[in-house]
């Protein structure tokens, strides 16, 4: 077969600024644009006879668009901060900012061919193309820290090659801090919002996700852990082509998991049952959890009826003590035992002995609501669930109460995020899942020797 390194016309590309100076300049342009937008909007309002408040000038759709556009161009940590703020705090954000930052969850522009080649030259050597029969420079997918390309080696392997954007690893801490500072100085986030826990999580998660050798190790480990579970499928790691910045895997098929929204009820129920059963095994049996709830991390093979698991960059080991306290928290909620829940919540770190009683009770209320689907005998109908709105309302009240400063550890927040992500997907699919039955098995399981 003739070697092929050409591509069909694709969507516009945009080089990723890789140097510290060029990335800082992008952030400076964003701040300058916001300031200019304030002046223009202020002049317009005064011409109409209005006396605008500073917050009204800052929180315009145009200024929010400037923020989103510059973060999308930077990608990496800068884009990830926007994604996390939009996912975690959407209900506290001004509507204009919340709407436009939400675009960052999927709005990533691809690197141009020359930049892709430069990265591969550095990782695989300048003669890397001699190993391939075909390499598509048009990515299959582009996200915050990397993009995925289809390729075929001369020895016949069909690969999905994830390539990290240049400069991402080196710029993580400074990008996160700089973006957070700009959010604060620009007024695009309310002063009452404490985003420090999100920033710490973003840094750690990004450092983990930016190490593709680490991710490849977890991909292989999950394959071994799920060798007894044929309902799940994973890509195969190709370590000879994997580096810290390039991850080579076998190509997997399937359809996006959210595309099952119109599938038969039985299929939707089965998929979500598999996902919840896996999460319980991860926490209580493997003590290893893939904590990123992004829907793009799952696909479904309609022919084999297998759930396909992708992207293990956010995988996190859990200590026995933490897993056991979550077990006790769930058991307490399912049994209606608030005293058991209280002891578990304190041990996890949701609060301590100095926490006001009203705040402790609010957190326990939230725990009961969160675990409510597991307490119902028989299938729980997520299509009619109001669990997330009720949790959100209590969370907003607690978050805005400046007398409450206790923050749970990152392990707890990431696990909450994972459960919340599965709840969102189950609601999207209108699934009915017998979580009570799954919990009976999951809570009784123990870590493998």
Q: What is the pLDDT of residues 147-196, one digit of tens each?
A: 899 999 999 999 999 999 887 787 778 777 766 766 665 555 556 556 67
Beta strands 232-233 and 306-309 are parallel
pLDDT band at 389 (very low <50, low <70, confident <90, very high): confident
CB 371 within 8 A of CB 335: no
For position 404, what pLDDT does the model report?
Answer: 57
- Ordered by start, the domain boundaries in the chain are 20-108+174-194, 253-449
Please name which of 176, 153, 151, 149 lies closest in space to residue 79, comparing C-alpha atoms.
Answer: 176
**Between 447 and 219, residue with greater pLDDT:** 219
For position 9, what pLDDT does the model report?
Answer: 42
For position 199, what pLDDT does the model report?
Answer: 75
Report whether pLDDT(232) > 70. yes
The answer to whether 292 is a known catalytic residue is yes
Give 45-83 pLDDT, tens digit per residue: 444 444 434 344 344 556 555 555 655 555 555 555 555
* Helices and strands counted in the chain (H then E): 16, 13
91-100, 176-185, 293-302: which has the minimum mean pLDDT? 91-100
Determine which helix (DSSP H) or strand (DSSP E) holds 433, and give its type and residue range: strand 432-433
Q: What is the mean pLDDT of residues 22-48?
A: 43
User: How much of the chain exceeds pLDDT 90, in percent?
Assistant: 47
Question: 320-335 and 338-348 are packed helices; what angle lies between their axes, rounded to 10 degrees?
Answer: 160
Q: Tell me which long-range contacts 403-408 makes (C-beta under 8 A, separation of at least 24).
A: 403/356, 403/359, 404/355, 404/356, 404/359, 405/194, 406/349, 406/350, 406/351, 406/352, 406/355, 406/359, 407/194, 407/197, 408/348, 408/349, 408/350
Q: What is the mean pLDDT of residues 22-39?
A: 44
Give 255-279 pLDDT, tens digit per residue: 999 999 999 999 999 999 999 999 9
pTM exceeds cut of 0.85 = no
DSSP 137: S
Per the residue annotation, which of 292, 311, 342, 411 is the catalytic one?
292
**Between 4 and 104, residue with greater pLDDT:** 4
């Amino acid at each position: 077969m003739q070697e092929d390194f050409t591509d069909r016309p694709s969507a516009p590309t945009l080089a990723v600024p890789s140097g510290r100076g060029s990335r800082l300049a992008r952030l400076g342009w964003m701040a300058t644009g916001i300031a200019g937008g304030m002046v223009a909007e202020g002049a317009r309002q005064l011409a109409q006879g209005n006396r605008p408040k500073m917050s009204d000038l800052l929180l315009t759709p145009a200024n929010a668009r400037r923020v989103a556009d510059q973060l999308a161009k930077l990608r990496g940590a800068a884009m990830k901060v926007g994604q996390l703020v939009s996912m975690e705090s959407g209900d506290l954000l001004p509507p204009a900012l919340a709407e436009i930052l939400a675009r960052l969850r999927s709005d990533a522009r691809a690197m141009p061919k020359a930049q892709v080649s430069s990265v591969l030259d550095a990782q695989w050597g300048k003669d890397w193309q001699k190993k391939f029969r075909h390499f598509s420079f048009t990515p299959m997918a582009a996200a915050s820290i990397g993009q995925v390309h289809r390729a075929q080696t001369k020895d016949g392997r069909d690969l999905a090659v994830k390539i990290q954007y240049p400069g991402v690893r080196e710029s993580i801490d400074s990008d996160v801090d700089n973006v957070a500072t700009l959010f604060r100085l620009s007024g695009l986030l309310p002063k009452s919002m404490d985003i420090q826990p999100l920033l710490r999580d973003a840094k750690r998660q990004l450092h983990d996700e930016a190490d593709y050798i680490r991710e490849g190790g977890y991909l292989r480990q999950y394959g071994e852990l799920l060798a007894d579970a044929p309902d799940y499928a994973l890509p195969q790691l190709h370590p000879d082509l994997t580096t810290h910045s390039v991850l080579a895997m076998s190509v997997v098929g399937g359809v996006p998991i959210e595309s099952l929204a119109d599938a038969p009820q039985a299929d939707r129920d089965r998929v979500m049952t598999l996902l919840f059963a896996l999460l319980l095994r991860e926490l209580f049996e493997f003590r290893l959890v893939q904590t990123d709830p992004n829907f793009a991390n799952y696909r479904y093979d309609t022919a084999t009826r297998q759930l396909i698991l992708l992207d293990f960059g956010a995988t996190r080991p859990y200590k026995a003590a933490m897993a056991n306290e979550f077990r006790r928290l769930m058991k307490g909620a399912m049994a209606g035992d608030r005293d058991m829940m209280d002891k578990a919540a304190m041990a996890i770190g949701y609060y301590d002995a100095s926490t006001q009683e009203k705040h402790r009770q609010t957190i326990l209320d939230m725990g009961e609501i969160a675990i409510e689907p597991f307490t119902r005998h028989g299938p729980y109908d997520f299509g009619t669930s109001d669990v997330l709105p009720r949790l959100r309302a209590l969370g907003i009240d607690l978050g805005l109460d400046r007398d409450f400063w206790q923050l749970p550890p990152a392990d707890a927040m990431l696990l909450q995020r994972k459960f919340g992500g599965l709840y969102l997907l189950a609601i999207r699919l209108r699934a009915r899942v017998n979580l009570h039955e799954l919990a009976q098995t999951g809570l009784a399981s123990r870590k493998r020797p």
